[in-house]
Copies of this chain bind each other. A is one copy, B any other.
Amino acid sequence: MDNTAAQTGAFRYVTVERHILARIESGELRPGERIPSLRTLGAKLGLSVSTIGQAYLELERQGVIEARPKSGYFVRERVQRLPRPSRKAGGSAEPREVNRNTLIRQVLDTMGRRDILPYGVAKTGEELLPAKALSRIMAQVVRDDPEGCLCYETVAGNEALRRQIAFRCLDAGAEVSASEVMITSGALEALFIAVRSVTRAGDNVVIASPSYYCFLQILEYLGLRAIEVPSCPQCGVNPADLAGILRKFEVKACIFTPNFNNPDGALMPVEAKREIVAMLAARDIPLIEDDVYGEMYYGPKRPPIMKSFDEKGLVLTCSSFSKTLSAGYRVGWIIPGRFHDRAFDFKGTTNVCSATPTQMAVAEYLRQGGFDRHLRGLRQALEKQMRTMRALVGRHFPAGTTATSPGGGSVMWIELPGGRDGGEFYFRAKEAGIGVAPGIIFSTQDKFNTCIRLSYGSPMTQAYQDGIRRLGELAGEMPCAPGDGAAWPETARRAALAT
């Protein structure tokens, strides 16, 4: 058993998850093999059958195991667990000033460029999005109300759209009214407003390690200090680790992506979400939740948002349609809880309101009701692309490469073997016309320097497949850091090849 998890008490089924995951990683449980029955494992670990069942459901949701009728649970054929980067790389929990901007600007600079293969940007390929339907609706709304489209929206945003978003929150476990929702220009703006609403320069903010690089940018711009809590690619942030930080430092806010953390794809278990929300509520610490990938789960059920456990209005949920419908429309939202007035002021000051016609078009698209069907297709496509990406990375990257197997979202977190430098790799790839995101930008520390993040949001055309092959060659041509090679186990290579 994993002692760290066991220490957290109420957090039992995560212990079970880790038990299973560890055995898959060690090779004790192999793809296609049956895992112990609920009763057997319950007896072995001294836990109830329902706790084991809850863990198995979570693992199924993550796409790690599958239930076969009348036969029990099996490790999925194409899944092989990989070592967890954050556990290996160490790192400090001391508050740090953030200063990653120069490299991040380079990565942003390749965004939107059509001459660069877009593995560097966590975007969903337009081929997977309902482009024609949305364009048809946009043409319709601007023609139906040409003057209305020219007007400022209210600061809070289009009301029909806010009602639709509130409605969708039910699926994610949260009862929210339209008046609690505020429209923003994408999730990043929502996050920016959220952080600004609950902090002042010099404050400590806890983020996962690794975290979406834009969190770091926001902290840097607002003069905040980052405290990094390790994220494990399976379960994300461990409540016990967070508790330790809260005991040691004065924390003014946390920013987490509980559903498919960018870049490591971690899905925080339901019980961990509940525990973290309660832990922060006890200390009146605001929690900023980035749920931009929440609808892009591969498992059977939409994972809940942390807002669903929020009894004190301390959770600020931020999301957008950028990954599921259109990034270019810049339609996101924030549900700022008790910080509504401050968020409202800040939105008004930043850019008055978001664009009117794009809000009207998205509201009308949602009203017409094809979104859920579209999402089902999108999820299937993304899961398939993830598997293809894994297979290609396994085939073309040097021995010792590791890669995550996310249960949702559209990014894969990869460690280059032999201490190869991800920053150097980024520049080499860019020269070859291929975008990747270097690991160093996802942390204030240097522990992810050998990592890269690849987006598999675009369909795997031949050109894209060739791009991965070329990336693998580039990685192979790079020098290893002397003495570091031994740190990367050969099992990882086998693992990557297995899918």
Contacts and interface: CB of A to CB of B under 8 A. Distances in A.
Interface of A: 101, 105, 108-109, 111-113, 121, 123, 126-127, 129, 131-132, 134-136, 138-139, 142-143, 146-155, 184-186, 188-189, 192, 196, 201, 214, 217-218, 221, 223, 322, 325-330, 341, 344-346, 348-358
Contacts of A131: 146-147, 149-150
A218 B348 CA distance: 10
Given A146-B135, A151-B126, A330 B351 contact: yes
Contacts of A152: 111-112, 121, 123, 322, 327-328
Contact of A326 (B121, B150, B352): B150
A326 B355 CA distance: 10
Given A143-B135, A329-B356, A153 B112 contact: yes
A155 B330 contact: no
A201 B185 CA distance: 25
Contact of A113 (B142, B154, B188, B346): B154
Contacts of A330: 185, 351-356
Contact of A189 (B101, B129, B341, B351): B351
Identical chains in the assembly: 2
Interface on chain A toward B: helix, strand, loop, or mixed SS? Answer: helix
Which of A221, A325, A351, A356 gathers the greatest number of chain B CB atoms within 10 Å?
A351
A149 B357 CA distance: 13
A136 B188 CA distance: 31
Interface centre among A136, A143, A214, A356 (most CB of B within 10 A): A356
A211 to B, nearest CB: 14
A44 to B, nearest CB: 49
A155 B328 contact: no
A346 to B, nearest CB: 7
A397 to B, nearest CB: 27
Contact of A352 (B127, B129, B186): B186
Contacts of A105: 341, 344-345, 348
16 contacts: A112-B152, A112-B155, A123-B151, A123-B152, A126-B147, A136-B143, A148-B328, A185-B354, A185-B355, A186-B351, A186-B352, A192-B350, A327-B352, A330-B354, A355-B358, A357-B358
